Amino acid sequence: MGLALRHAHRWDLSPREAAGLQARLRPLVLAEDALPAEIRAVAGVDVGFEDRGRITRAAVAVLDFPSLRLIDQSIVRQPTCFPYIPGLLSFRELPALLEALERLNFLPELILVDGHGYAHPRRFGIACHLGVLTEIPTIGVGKTRLVGTHGELAEERGSWIPLIDSDEIVGAVVRTRRGVQPVYVSVGHRLSLSTAVDWVLRCAPRYRLPETTRQAHRLASD
DNA sequence: GCGACAG
DNA sequence: ATCTTGTCGC
């Protein structure tokens, strides 16, 4: 309860129609800080698959901030409705994820998504899509690159450099832990890139991936 | 036509 | 994402 979809739409679209919808929703993304003054709960969302991909399992882990203790969770299983197509990930994972969010007892003020946000071919990755539909601030945290190039990143935790695509800064390559591969951070909705990087570092005090993502992944996997 | 390609 | 054993390093 409490979750009101601002721009709900149909999900039974062809890949071509899906790409067109992304272009239509893209202008709704706000890449400026518009978060609540106090953030008490941060959530991580992730999706796993069963039965060789026929079943989609979406999970949401809500953590108290700054303790990062799990305070609420939700797991939803649904028949998979869309194939995996690079650039159209949200049409495969969001239906189940939105259902999981609706079943939450406590809504978070910020969501870290497993996948890119603005660092996307049409600047509308799954983090942007989820943010625009729910109006909850979101951050895209990818484990691998979808678009863009970047230079050498310093080794120390906390260092970051811009991710550039078509002469535009679309995200940041962030070192959340020394000696491990960086993560790709980008704006989802209602915050700036630097604020997004700050929150990812605050939520990933020890491991490569944010605690939010780790918890959600655990729920969506085993 | 030849690669690249989130999860 | 998922299918899968051992292995290198702190």
Give the CATH number for residue A184: 3.30.2170.10
Q: Note whether residue A132 is domain-resident.
A: yes
Decide: A154 and A138 in contact? Cβ < 8 Å. no
Tokens of A154: 């310093």
| pLDDT tens for each residue of chain A, 222 residues long | 689 998 999 999 999 999 999 999 999 999 999 999 999 999 999 999 999 999 999 999 999 999 999 999 999 999 999 999 999 999 999 999 999 999 999 999 999 999 999 999 999 999 999 999 999 999 999 999 999 999 999 999 999 999 999 999 999 999 999 999 999 999 999 999 999 999 999 999 999 999 999 999 999 997
Distance of CA A70 to the CA centre of its chain: 18
Could you tell me the residue range of the domain that residue A111 belongs to? 31-221
Which pLDDT score is estimated for A222? 79
A186 beta partners = A140
Do the domain assignments include residue A140?
A: yes
Instruction: For residue A180, tell me if it sits in a domain.
Output: yes
Whether residue A42 is contained in a domain is answered as yes
A165 has binding-site annotation = no
Q: Classify residue A170: in a domain, yes or no.
A: yes
Q: Give domain status of residue A202, yes or no.
A: yes
pLDDT at A152: 95
Q: Is residue A2 part of a domain?
A: no
DSSP class of A26? G
Number of domains into which chain A is organized:
1
Question: Do the Cβ atoms of A177 and A125 come closer than 8 Å?
Answer: no
Q: Tell me how crowded residue A12 is: count the other CB atoms within 10 A of its CB.
A: 9
The separation, in Å, between residue A119 CA and nucleotide C7 C1' comes to 35
Q: Which pair of tokens denotes residue A92? A: 């495969």
Query: Does residue A101 form part of some domain?
Result: yes
Distance of CA A13 to the CA centre of its chain: 22
CA–C1' A48–B7 (A): 9
A114 is in an annotated binding site: yes
**Residues by CB within 7 Å of nucleic chain C, which ones?**
A 47-49, 52-53, 84, 114, 143, 220-221
Taking the alpha carbons of A32, A217, A146, A120 in that order, is the dihedral positive or negative? negative
* Rounded CA separation A43/A164 (Å): 27
